[in-house]
Chain A
Amino acid sequence: MLQEDFHLIRTRVIPCLLLKGQGLVKTVNFTNPKYIGDPINAVKIFNDKEVHELVFLDITASTEKRSPRLDYITDIASECFMPLGYGGGIRTAKQAEDIFNRGVEKVVINSCAVENPSFIHELADQFGSQSIVVSIDVKKNFLGNYQTYTHSGTTKTRWDPVTWALEAEMLGAGEIFLNSIDRDGTMKGYDIPLIKSVSASVSIPVVACGGAGTVEDFSRAVKDGGASAVAAGSMFVFYGKHRAVLINFPGDEELKSAGLK
């Protein structure tokens, strides 16, 4: 086991950027979107910093019943020389194909996947599992049970995250993007028990998101939670205790010092 762990690949550290209208925003508990800046400018900065991967989520597409903004995706992808995932409003295979053709590697689906689980299978069958990410937004109820939400956290579903992740895997999802609504924007650390419950159940990679405030949080999500990759929003767009907007990304040395390969 030790030998094998030693050979595991570098943990992907993924800035997760939220789009609303024409701008980049950051939420707290999926609410109060604060304007951060221009997404293209952010991509250029993240490019220079050689980030491992980027995920863009259009957080109002599904609630507004809107299609993905292809012209916008084109602009983002043309400046992005690292893997890029895009989610928000994807409801047809044709939309996914249009997105891939613009230079996006992964489509992230959430609301439509819950409404129509066979959509996961349809996309995986056509484009390969590796390019299909199912994102699961999770909130704890007053009994302390985890529940899956869609439409940017506004709609509760019948699924608990573990059962839904297993279903998504069975239908062909290549990756689970697991987002804690309770931790979103708080920078107080990931929900490790949540990450652990899902990553121990599925055999596909689980990306932890929601709550990261330090590089040590990344390390905990991987070592204690079993996450294959870690994503964060606030940490990469805010700086200091007053949350001044500053695009940043930890260097290799900093990640290594936190125990990440």
Chain B
Amino acid sequence: MLIIIDYGMGNLGSLANMLKKIRIPAKISSDLGDIESAEKLILPGVGSFDHGMQKLQELNLTDILNKLVIGEKIPILGICLGMQMFTKTSEEGTQPGLGWVDANTVKFKADKGSSLKIPHMGWDTIDIKKSHFMLQDTDYNAMYYFVHSFHVVCNRSEDVLSTSHYGYDFVSSLAKDNVIGVQFHPEKSHKYGMKLLENFCNHKS
């Protein structure tokens, strides 16, 4: 069963709504037993980095997630803050991240006098950097919904699945083995997002 990890950090409802629409059984849970027996995991997230990391600690999820993701190679998809928490650090806070990907999370740099507004909020295309099942059969002009003030910088270019452009190119999706992250919100990206969630959920590893 696919488990959507409920650690009190938002937008679980929209994810569950879309999975229901594409008929993928999933359960929203913070129960350690549920999470330990999951076939796949999704770590969603809206909110601040430190708050998210603290919540994982409070619910005793950090150790279990490390065991499942690093030890047992259970596929996990991080969305937005979820993906940022896979990195080692974030400029948004002082807590260490999960560190599953050799990457860091930094604040968007808008030059003074720039017309770029932060957060980066809206629909954008992605520039696919690597062939991967996550992005299989997606439209070349597919648009995805972004809303974020921070973005991920990968230290290893081979981990980058796609980049998008806002002032400059930034990582819009990444994958390292069973750890997959998307900066945008597939659950709010119409049929394009549905396709991505299907790709994640239906892939047999």
Contacts and interface: CB of A to CB of B under 8 A. Distances in A.
Mutual binders A and B: yes
Interface of A: 1, 4-5, 7-12, 47, 50, 52-53, 74, 77-84, 100-105, 125-131, 174-175, 203-205, 226, 228-229
Given A82-B145, A130-B148, A130-B149, A7 B190 contact: no
What class of interface size applies to chain B in its complex with A?
Answer: 35 or more
Contacts of A52: 122-123
B188 A175 contact: no
B27 interface: no
The CB with the most chain A CB atoms within 10 A, among B110, B114, B145, B194, is that of: B145
Contacts of B26: none
Given A100-B10, A100-B11, A104-B13, A81 B123 contact: no
B46 interface: yes
Contacts of B193: 81
Given A1-B115, A127-B47, A102 B13 contact: yes
B156 interface: no
A130 B190 contact: no
B48 interface: yes
Contacts of A80: 14, 17
B99 interface: no
A130 B123 contact: no
A47 B165 CA distance: 26
Interface string B1-23: 00000000011111111101100
B123 to A, nearest CB: 5
A69 to B, nearest CB: 15
Q: Which 4 residue pairs of A and B lie closest in terms of their CB atoms, listed nearest first?
A: A103-B13, A103-B14, A9-B122, A102-B13
Given A8-B115, A103-B11, A131-B46, A228 B16 contact: no
29 contacts: A7-B165, A7-B166, A7-B167, A8-B116, A47-B190, A77-B13, A77-B14, A78-B17, A78-B20, A80-B17, A81-B21, A81-B194, A82-B145, A82-B189, A84-B14, A100-B11, A101-B12, A101-B13, A102-B13, A103-B11, A104-B14, A105-B185, A126-B47, A129-B149, A130-B147, A130-B148, A130-B149, A175-B121, A204-B117
Interface string B99-118: 00000000000100011111
Q: Is the interface of B mostly helix, strand, loop or mixed?
A: mixed
Contact of B117 (A100, A125, A127, A228): A228
A203 B121 CA distance: 13
B85 to A, nearest CB: 13
A146 to B, nearest CB: 21
A12 B124 CA distance: 11
A45 B104 CA distance: 41
Given A4-B167, A10-B122, A83 B115 contact: no
B66 to A, nearest CB: 25
Given A77-B17, A105-B11, A175-B121, A50 B47 contact: no
Contacts of A7: 165-167
Contacts of B153: none
B98 interface: no
Contact of B121 (A50, A78, A84, A205): A205
A32 B117 CA distance: 36
B118 A204 contact: yes
B29 to A, nearest CB: 14
Contact of A100 (B46, B190, B191): B46
